[in-house]
Structure 1
């Protein structure tokens, strides 16, 4: 029998994880882990908090407001260059899952080389979509200043930016990609949803969605970190062994709204 003292200790040990866009399919493992009960199976009390972009999530982590982030691996590299040390515990994907979409209103944009003078949508300034967009531009001969980056988030805000011609092209993930392709309001310019397509676009591999924590937190919470890793790995095995329909059935009913 669990006593009241144990319950209080459990509540005090809540782990808060911020997700860099919970509606994004690339971060589905976070919500799915919670839905499958794998955090509880490991004896963890985990709260998931939504964020519009990975850069906002990393700021919350550095401020100590949360214990971990589900976001892109490239933030671990970027922050090390600034003297901040975070570590990825679990890697979810080998490709960004991102697509550079171009508005149907702008057929003149046929490749990233045509970004000159355009306003390009990213989830947030300093986000992974920002990093990737800038790299695509530089790789295709452009310089910073040849184009404008506009933070428009994902989902409905990204779609509205395309419809209102606030952006001529932009980087986003599923399910936003599918919605704009279905209506014909945008088309794929650069596809980074598979390792093969990513190598074509970037010239090499690009580890993407992951779970990371501050190195200092990891040193003092190795047991909790291992349990979190266990839960996420169970989820990745579940995804590998089940169909898309079976996975969707486990998600919250309003997740794909």
Structure 2
């Protein structure tokens, strides 16, 4: 039996595609068994991808860029050699507030929970608050980790707000928490997650990464097929027991919406990637202007699966 490809992703409804690929056998169909680990944070994910504990990561686009530019919040042992090779999701990030917070202005002087404060979706938060007149220093960011940890911190009253994604946004709304702002209010489109890999590993494992792409796209088609809605809903409930039959319905609808969820063909959103670079250039301390998205992309393997014209 082939050695399992080691995949790491964030705890969200998008993991449904991986669960389908593993349980139904889509990855095995291409002799590419996959093992999945859920990451507690972007720091853990990227450091361990670069240092070789994992083969492929599915995560926020800015994280791959940050660590490739040696601007991550921790320094890996190995030199970064990262490439984004396929798209996973578009995203709707919702700024969800705890009790007593009615407007963004109410966040002044409070602590805001984030995964990391200088990578990932932090710059989306900066833009939201900037648009509402709050500047860095008007609030404090606290690095808490992945969405479940941040959401729990808001529920426990430790933080004023955080950015949530599905299925956590639906949970928050069902419990009466207020959404102050959505990324869709600020950006026409913002890429959620993409797949990243170390180029050295990918170039030495070309057949495995191609098998992964084929299996992923088959699993993706299964999730998006309306005939499989009941099975997909049950699978999501099984793997995310914090959901319930009421919140799983909007969570799955959001996941299947191409504007807020799964990218139906795995294509990299180049315009969205430009937005990510613009935000990083504005809000992060960079040694150089970041504008060339092609520096961070390698579609060689994707082109072996999909007849894709070169850019």
Counterpart position of 1:91: 87
Find the aligned partners of 2:166 and 2:82 in 1 and give their Cα distance.
27
Find the aligned partners of 2:53 and 2:206 in 1 and give their Cα distance.
19
1:226 CA drift (Å): 0.9
1:224 CA drift (Å): 1.0
Find the aligned partners of 1:174 and 1:135 in 2 and give their Cα distance.
21
Conserved? CA contact 1:99–1:172, under 8 Å:
yes
The answer to whether residue 13 in structure 2 is matched with residue 18 in structure 1 is: no
Find the aligned partners of 1:188 and 1:137 in 2 and give their Cα distance.
13
> Does the C-alpha gap of structure 1 residues 76 and 223 become closer, same or farther in structure 2, counting only changes over 3 Å?
same
Equivalenced residues, count: 233
TM-score (norm 1): 0.80
> Does the C-alpha gap of structure 1 residues 159 and 79 become closer, same or farther in structure 2, counting only changes over 3 Å?
closer
> Does the C-alpha gap of structure 1 residues 36 and 135 become closer, same or farther in structure 2, counting only changes over 3 Å?
farther
TM-score (norm 2): 0.67
1:37-92 CA-to-partner distances (Å, cap 9, x unmatched) read: 11111111221111112332111101111111111222222233228332222212
Find the aligned partners of 1:68 and 1:183 in 2 and give their Cα distance.
35
1:216 CA drift (Å): 1.6
Structure 2: which 5+ runs fail to align?
71-78, 243-311
The answer to whether residue 163 in structure 2 is matched with residue 166 in structure 1 is: no
The answer to whether residue 204 in structure 2 is matched with residue 220 in structure 1 is: yes
Conserved? CA contact 1:123–1:172, under 8 Å:
no
Find the aligned partners of 2:69 and 2:194 in 1 and give their Cα distance.
19
SS at match of 1:253: helix
Counterpart position of 1:180: 172
Of 118, 134, 137, the residue aligned with 1:142 is 134
Conserved? CA contact 2:58–2:88, under 8 Å:
no
